[in-house]
Amino acid sequence: MWSTIGQLGEFGLIERVTARFPGTDDVILGPGDDAAIVSAPDGRVVATTDVLVETRHFRREWSSAEDVGRKAAAQNIADIAAMGARPTALLVGFAAPPDVPVSWAEELAEGLRAECAFAGAAVVGGDTVSAGEITLAITALGDLEGRSAVRRDGALPGDVVAVAGSLGLSSAGFALLEAGVHGAADAGSDEADPGWLRCLGEHRRPRPPYADGPGAARLGARAMLDVSDGLVQDLGHVAQAGTVVIDLDSAAFVPEPELSEAVVLLHELGRTGRGALEHMLFGGEDHALAAAFPPEAELPPQWRVIGTVSAPGADGPRVAVDGASVSARGWEHFR
Which residues contribute to the annotated binding site for Mg(2+)? Answer: 34, 48-50, 79, 127, 226, 229
How many chain residues bind its own copies (CB under 8 A)? 74
- Report 210-249 residues binding its own copies (CB under 8 A): 224-226, 241
DSSP 8-state code for residue 158: T
Among 82, 160, 259, 266, binds its own copies (CB under 8 A): 82
- Report 98-157 residues binding its own copies (CB under 8 A): 98, 124-133, 135, 137, 139-142, 144, 149, 151-152
Minimum CB–partner distance for residue 135 and its own copies (Å): 5
The residues, ordered by sequence, that sit 6+ positions from 163 with a Cβ below 8 Å of its Cβ are: 227, 231, 288, 289, 290, 291, 303, 304, 306
Q: Report in angstroms the alpha-carbon separations of 85 from 162, 217, 226, 233.
A: 18, 8, 12, 23
Pick between residue 46 and residue 199 the one whose CB is nearest to its own copies: 46
* Euclidean distance between CA atoms 48 and 125, whole angstroms: 15
DSSP 8-state code for residue 4: B
Minimum CB–partner distance for residue 193 and its own copies (Å): 34
Torsion sign across C-alpha atoms 258, 264, 268, 270: positive
Examine residue 56 and tell whether it contacts its own copies (CB under 8 A).
Answer: yes
Comparing CA positions, the residue from 104, 100, 105, 123 lying closest to residue 113 is 123
Pick between residue 276 and residue 326 the one whose CB is nearest to its own copies: 326
Residue 27 main-chain phi, psi, to 5 deg = -90, 110
Stretch that binds its own copies, among 48-56, 163-171, 185-193, 309-317 (CB under 8 A): 48-56
Please enumerate, by residue number, every residue annotated as part of a binding site for ATP. Answer: 126-127, 152, 228
Among 67, 70, 72, 79, binds its own copies (CB under 8 A): 79
Pick between residue 20 and residue 44 the one whose CB is nearest to its own copies: 44
Among 17, 68, 74, 83, binds its own copies (CB under 8 A): 83
Pick between residue 203 and residue 287 the one whose CB is nearest to its own copies: 287
- Report 157-216 residues binding its own copies (CB under 8 A): none
Helix 197-204 / helix 257-268 crossing angle, nearest 10 deg: 110
Minimum CB–partner distance for residue 275 and its own copies (Å): 27
For the sheet containing 223-226, what is the strand order? 223-226, 289-293, 160-164, 304-310, 245-248, 318-321, 324-325
- Report 17-46 residues binding its own copies (CB under 8 A): 28-29, 32-46
* Euclidean distance between CA atoms 120 and 21, whole angstroms: 13
Q: Report in angstroms the alpha-carbon separations of 134 from 69, 87, 179.
A: 12, 25, 24
Stretch that binds its own copies, among 66-74, 92-100, 186-194, 301-309 (CB under 8 A): 92-100
